[in-house]
Amino acid sequence: MSENKVFMIFQNTADAQPFISAFAQENPEATLNYQPGMVRIEGLGELGITQEVVSEFAGRAVDLQELHLTLISLSGNIDEDDDYFRITRH
Amino acid sequence: MAKKLNMRKRYELLTRGLGWEPTYQSKDKVFAQEAYEGIKITDWSKWEDPFRLTADAYWKYQAEKDKKLYAVMDSFAQNNAHLNLADASYVNALKLFIQGVSPLEYAAHRNFARLARQLSGEGAQIACQMQSIDELRHAQTQIHTISHYNKHFNGMHDPFHMFDRVWYLSVPKSYFDDASSAGPFEFITSVSFSFEYLLTNLLFVPFMSGAAYNGDMATVTFGFSAQSDESRHMTLGLEIIKFLLEQHEDNLPIVQGWIDKHFWRAYRLLGLVAMMQDYFLPESPMSWKEGWQIYFVENAGALFNDLGRYGLKMPKYHEIATAEADHISHQVFGIFYNYIHAAAFNLGLPSEAKMNWLSEKYPDTFDKYYRPRMEMWAEMAKEGKRFFNMGLPQLCQVCQIPMGFTEIAKGDPMQIAYRVSEYQGEKFHTCSDGCKTIFDYEPAKYVNAWLPVHQIFQGNCGGAAVPDVLNWYHFHPEDGGDYVGSADEARWKAMKGEAAAPEAAQPTQADAA
């Protein structure tokens, strides 16, 4: 079942929190695996977030490219625009 | 007023618009390295950069990352935060890191600058320029972060000099030199795909998480700061593979050959990381084998499933690497335990608690093959017969690691693996089918390998005796050897108030009472 696994890994910091929370909320099937200093968000086939939800968590308008500041690693094919970021493997 | 353009459009205008057709010289002269490897590119405009990061956004975010990192480094130094480490033996991981990894970052900086110049597609040029700057940033931030440790511990005083000379550092150096001396497409396949995409998670993710676990917040910060660039580099690696395979079907066998070769080379190099992961971290959040399972078996499995549509297969000998995951860290540790007197870091036998952890993480192999070895070595040391290997080992002609790996995939893990090839009437030895295959494909390249042991015997390394060679490496006598009884241990105990400073006279019994 790991054939189409995708993941995003973030630093476990306050700056990353709006992204982590958005991934958790917008991908109810995703699992969050916490290791010292980091969190790995795993899903099957697809994980995605929208700018609206991230901004809601942050309490300000977030540019989704800010995820570059706290992203540690990822696996999958990226699809991004101003209002969404997705990682897919089908 | 005009509407703000969307990301795709902005990215296109700010990258693709930057190229031009040369008129003073022909295009194949301007980009002279692009054709000789046999790669066929018909249309560079089909290049898709997955992260649509334009130069202005790149500078903004990189500046932000550095600001955060330097703030952490400052407070780390102000607070003498090295005192919060779980144990000073942890610092040995940083020594191996600054000696063996940071010089690779610098070499990557130079090579991606070459690629930015030599590839003719604008999307690829921009991605390579950014990566070149990233790699320089990594080398610099690693040096800055670790310079704080250099004030308190040995072995970190001259890493770039050591990198070009030292026997165990020839392992990372030769891998990277192999890629650097190839054409631009082989280099990018090697470094961006085989190393960064397939394997770099194993270096940075569990290791940096291990740093967090052991109280080293400065390293966590530089590691994760570097790794945030790495995500971009990995996507470049994936894009280059997809792009080459989509451009022409003739590219497939060439690319598959490079992936096979550089997967194995990079995997062999990571034997050092496996040892760090399992033996250097006083507290380990994850074993090498667990990391291999998550970041190679699952991740690469999914990736190659995805790439199968182009006809690409998993790298050759990947099953062997997976079978070796149960053994590799213990075998590399064994090699270093023999030769630690000639290294610029310290090592110790694992404690009982650590051995129990290893038994738990390696239920099929540790108690059966490796614990008895550790116990025997401990026994010998107790009797005053600590074993140091004073002979020079035979090295693998390709990976340059002493020939200490065994026939694991053949079901005989106690038998040293040993392969021989003949070329122009001479014999050359390799440690595995993986390294032998690489040698046999390009023997003319590997017969020129700068093998540290051969060079010592030829008199090119400062002299014939061990101290002469170590002096030529710029090692100090106190840099290597066992951690117990080392200068670093004494200094650490003094810092923690557990013993007098090493320079001071030891307190007498009367003083202590």
- CA B112, B114, B119, B122 torsion-angle sign: positive
Which pLDDT score, from 0 to 100, does residue B506 have?
Answer: 44
Strand partners, A8: A41, A74
Chains A, B: CB contacts within 8 A come to 96
Which pLDDT score, from 0 to 100, does residue B501 have?
Answer: 65
Q: How far apart are the first and last CA of chain B?
A: 85
B509 pLDDT band, cuts 50/70/90, is very low
Among candidates B106, B157, B115, which has minimal Cα distance to B134? B106
Q: What is the chain A residue with the closest CA to B63?
A: A69
Which pLDDT score, from 0 to 100, does residue B53 have?
Answer: 85
> Which of B389-411 are b and which e, b meaning 16 or more Cβ less than 10 Å from the residue's Cβ?
eeebbbbbbbbbbbbbbbebbee
Cα separation, B174 vs B395, in Å, equals 12
> Given this structure, which CATH class describes domain A2-88?
alpha beta
Residue B39 lies in a domain: no
Which pLDDT score, from 0 to 100, does residue B511 have?
Answer: 41
Average pLDDT over residues B403-411: 95
B128 pLDDT band, cuts 50/70/90, is very high
pLDDT at B502 over 70: no
pLDDT digits (tens, 9 = 90+) for B4-37: 788 888 888 887 778 889 999 999 999 999 999 9
Mutation target for A interface from B64, B231, B238, B246: give the one with most A CBs within 10 A.
B231
Radius of gyration of chain A (CA): 12
Which pLDDT score, from 0 to 100, does residue B19 have?
Answer: 84
Secondary structure class of B338 (helix, strand, coil): helix
Distance from CA of A23 to the nearest CA of B (A): 17
Which pLDDT score, from 0 to 100, does residue B223 have?
Answer: 82
Which pLDDT score, from 0 to 100, does residue B507 have?
Answer: 42
> Which of B52-68 are b and which e, b meaning 16 or more Cβ less than 10 Å from the residue's Cβ?
bbbeebbebbbeebeeb
B505 pLDDT band, cuts 50/70/90, is very low
Which pLDDT score, from 0 to 100, does residue B500 have?
Answer: 73
- Greater confidence (B81 vs B472) lies with B472
> Any idea which of A56-60, B284-288, B385-389 has the lowest mean pLDDT?
B284-288
Distance from CA of A64 to the nearest CA of B (A): 11
Average pLDDT over residues B112-128: 93
Please count the other Cβ atoms lying within 10 Å of the Cβ belonging to residue B330. 24
Q: Which domain holds residue B167?
A: 48-348+387-495
Q: How many domains does chain B have?
A: 1
| Average pLDDT of chain B to the nearest whole number | 92
Cα separation, B275 vs B281, in Å, equals 9
Which pLDDT score, from 0 to 100, does residue B206 have?
Answer: 80
Which pLDDT score, from 0 to 100, does residue B508 have?
Answer: 41
pLDDT at B513 over 50: no
Share of chain B above pLDDT 90, in %: 74
Among candidates B70, B145, B154, B55, which has minimal Cα distance to B487? B154
Secondary structure class of A50 (helix, strand, coil): strand
Cα separation, B338 vs A55, in Å, equals 56
pLDDT digits (tens, 9 = 90+) for B201-220: 888 888 788 888 888 888 88
Share of chain A above pLDDT 90, in %: 79
Instruction: Report CB contact under 8 Å: A74, B231.
Output: yes
Q: Which residue numbers of B have CB closer than 8 Å to A's CBs?
A: 6-8, 50-53, 57, 61, 64-65, 68, 201, 204-206, 208-213, 220, 224, 227-228, 230-232, 234-235, 238, 285-286, 298-299, 301-303, 305-306
pLDDT at B1 over 70: no
The closest CB to that of B286, out of A11, A35, A82, belongs to A35
Cα separation, B352 vs B488, in Å, equals 22
Cα separation, B321 vs B298, in Å, equals 14
CATH number of the domain within which B305 lies: 1.10.620.20
pLDDT digits (tens, 9 = 90+) for B235-290: 889 999 999 999 999 999 999 999 999 999 999 999 999 999 999 988 888 999 99
pLDDT digits (tens, 9 = 90+) for B302-312: 899 889 999 99
Which pLDDT score, from 0 to 100, does residue B503 have?
Answer: 53
Average pLDDT over residues A21-48: 95
Distance of CA B361 to the CA centre of its chain: 23
Token readout for B338 is: 């023999």
Secondary structure class of B427 (helix, strand, coil): strand
**Whether the Cβ atoms of residue B455 and residue B445 lie closer than 8 Å to each other:** no
- Greater confidence (B14 vs B98) lies with B98
B464 pLDDT band, cuts 50/70/90, is confident
Average pLDDT over residues B420-434: 97
Which pLDDT score, from 0 to 100, does residue B209 have?
Answer: 83
Average pLDDT over residues B322-338: 97
Distance from CA of A68 to the nearest CA of B (A): 6
Q: What is the chain A residue with the closest CA to B205?
A: A72
Which pLDDT score, from 0 to 100, does residue A39 have?
Answer: 94
Give contacts of B52 with chain A, Cβ < 8 Å.
80
Cα separation, B110 vs B112, in Å, equals 6
A86 pLDDT band, cuts 50/70/90, is very high
B49 pLDDT band, cuts 50/70/90, is confident
Cα separation, B230 vs B238, in Å, equals 12
Q: What is the chain B residue with the closest CA to A45?
A: B302
ipTM metric: 0.88
Which pLDDT score, from 0 to 100, does residue A23 have?
Answer: 98
Token readout for A87 is: 């990682």
Contacts of A47 (CB under 8 A, 6+ apart): A6, A7, A8, A23, A27, A30, A41, A76, A86, A87
What torsion, rounded to 10 degrees, do the Cα atoms B56, B57, B59, B65 define? Answer: 170
Instruction: Report CB contact under 8 Å: A37, B212.
Output: yes
pLDDT at B504 over 60: no
Mutation target for A interface from B228, B232, B295: give the one with most A CBs within 10 A.
B228
Distance from CA of A25 to the nearest CA of B (A): 23
Cα separation, B150 vs B168, in Å, equals 20
Among candidates B237, B105, B223, which has minimal Cα distance to B172? B105
* Helix/strand/coil percentages in chain B, nearest 5: 65, 5, 35
Average pLDDT over residues B129-149: 94
Average pLDDT over residues B321-336: 97
Average pLDDT over residues B388-401: 95
Which pLDDT score, from 0 to 100, does residue B7 have?
Answer: 82
Average pLDDT over residues B351-377: 97
pLDDT at B91 over 90: yes
pLDDT digits (tens, 9 = 90+) for B62-77: 999 999 889 988 988 8
Cα separation, B346 vs B476, in Å, equals 12
What torsion, rounded to 10 degrees, do the Cα atoms B406, B407, B411, B415 define? Answer: -60
The closest CB to that of A65, out of B6, B53, B302, belongs to B53
Which pLDDT score, from 0 to 100, does residue B512 have?
Answer: 41
Among candidates B389, B387, B388, B357, which has minimal Cα distance to B371? B357
pLDDT at A1 over 50: no
